[in-house]
Structure 1
Amino acid sequence: MHVVPLSALADNYVWMLYDDAGNAIVVDPGEAAPVETALQERQLQLRAILLTHHHNDHIGGVGALLARYPVPVYAPHDERIGEVTQRVQDGDEVEIDAPRAHFRVIEIPGHTRTHIAYAGEGLLLCGDTLFSMGCGRLFEGTPEQMLTSLDKLAALPGETKVCCAHEYTAANGRFALTVEPHNPALAKRVEQVQALRDRQQPSLPVTLETELATNPFLRVDSDEVGAWCRHHGAEAGRVARFAALRAAKDVFRG
C-alpha cells in the first residue's frame, strides 16, 4: 500500500492510499482538485472515501468527487455530514476490497463531538485530533474528552504511522520546545522537520513512537511537562495539566 499526503487548501493534507493495481482511497478530501489531479497523474481509480469529522476543510470536496466517482463514503454519525453511504462508530470495522484494506474505527471526541479515526494497515488516520507535536483545538469537546481520546491513540503500536490532516508540525515544535526545552528527542525532531520543510517536503507521516517521545500533549505524565504545568499554575491531575497545555497553545505566537 502506497501512502501519499496531497496538499490541499492552505495547509491541509488529503491522505491517498493506493495499491499497484491502481485502486485508491482518500481521507478527508476538503478539496477535490488535488485528488483528481493525483488520480489522473498516477492512473488510479477512486474506490472509497473516509471522513473523520464534519469541518468543511475535510469534506468540502466530497460532492465534486462523487459526481465523477460514485464510491462508498464512510463517516461518523453526524447530521452535518451529507452524502454518506455508511455511518460508522467506535469499534466498527471498515473493509475495503480494492485496495484491500481493513480499518478499525475509534471514536475520539474533543476537536468535535463526533470525531473519529481509522486505524489499520499500520496507519492512524486521525484527522484533527492528533497532530505531530500537537493536538486539535477544542471546538466542541472538553479537555477530559480530548485527553481520553489522545490516550486511546497513544495505546496503538509504536510503529503506527500517524497521518495528520494539517502541516502544523514546525509551529507545534516551537511550542513544544517551550514546554520541554531539555528533551533531546524533541530537539532532534524539530531539526528534522525544519530540514524537510526547507526542501518543501511534508513532515508526515510520523511514527507514534516519535510522537510519544516529543508531543507534550501525549506527555502530560512526564516530569518536565509536569514541572512546566506547575510553573504555570495548573492544578494537580492529568486533565488539568492537559488543559493548561492546550490553553497555552491556543494563544502561543512563535
Structure 2
Amino acid sequence: MQRSPDTRSRVTLSTGHEIDLPLELALAMGGVTVPARRSRLEALLPDDLSALAIAPGLSCVTFVGIQYHRVGGRFDDTEGDGALEPYDEFAVILPAVRNGRTDAPGAQLVGGEIGGYVHWLPVTTDASVALGREIWGYPKERADIEIDDGPQRFQCVVAEDSDDGRGRERARLAVAPPRTRVGTDHREWTLWNYTTMGDDLLRTRAEIRGDISFGTPVGATLEVDSELRAQLGCWTQPIARLSGPRVRARLHPGEPVGEA
C-alpha cells in the first residue's frame, strides 16, 4: 500500500488510549450479502442516503464478521504493537447511494455515490466501543462474538453480551474460502462508509489491500434472529459472499457530507 504524505493526527479516547489517524488495521474477514425489502431499509437510512436498488422493490444487506489482528500503530514499524488490543466485530451494512434517489435499478448510479451505511456494529471490548463511537459515530456495542477463522471456513457467531456467556444468539454466518484464486483481488481499492454522529452524516474513506475474493454464495450460510430479520426486512439466503483471510486497511477520519 503506497503511503500518502504523512498528515497523521493523534486522538485520545475516553479510555485513555491514544489513536493515530488514519487508523491502520490488519484483519481477517468473511461476509455475505442477502436481499432485503428496499422500503424497510429506506426507513432506516438518513435522508441524504437511498437504499441501493438491485431489483424493483429490492435492496440488500451485507453482514461481515471481522477478526482484527492489529489495531493502530504503523505497519512500517514492524516491532511496534497496536494501540488497542485486537478484538472481534460483526458489521451490518446497508449498501446505499448518496444523491441517487430513484426507484430504477442502475439509474441511481448516474450522479450518485455508492457506499455502505453502518447500521449495527457489535464488538468485543470496551476500548473498541469508545474507538468507534467517539471518532466516527459507529453504532458499536458490546456483544459476545466467536470467530473461527479456519482453512475450511470462516465462521462468526454473535450473541447478546452476558456475564455467563449465555446470551441470546443474534446472528451466525459461515463462509467457505474460494475453491480457486480466480476472483481474488490483490490490488488496492477505496471503499466509503457512512455513519451518523450527532446531527451530522459522516463520510469515511477506507483504503483496503489484501487477498479478498467476491463470488457466488456457494459455501455461504446466514442465520439471524427474528427481531433483526424483521427490522431489516431481509431474507437469509445469500446472493453473494466475500472472503478475506489477509487484509490491511487504513481508515481515515470522517467528514461531514456537506463538507466532503
Shorter-chain TM-score category?
under 0.3
TM-score scaled by length of structure 1? 0.21
Larger RCO: 1 or 2 (CA < 8 Å, sep 6+): 2
Which protein has the bigger strand share? Answer: 2
Which protein has the bigger helix share? Answer: 1
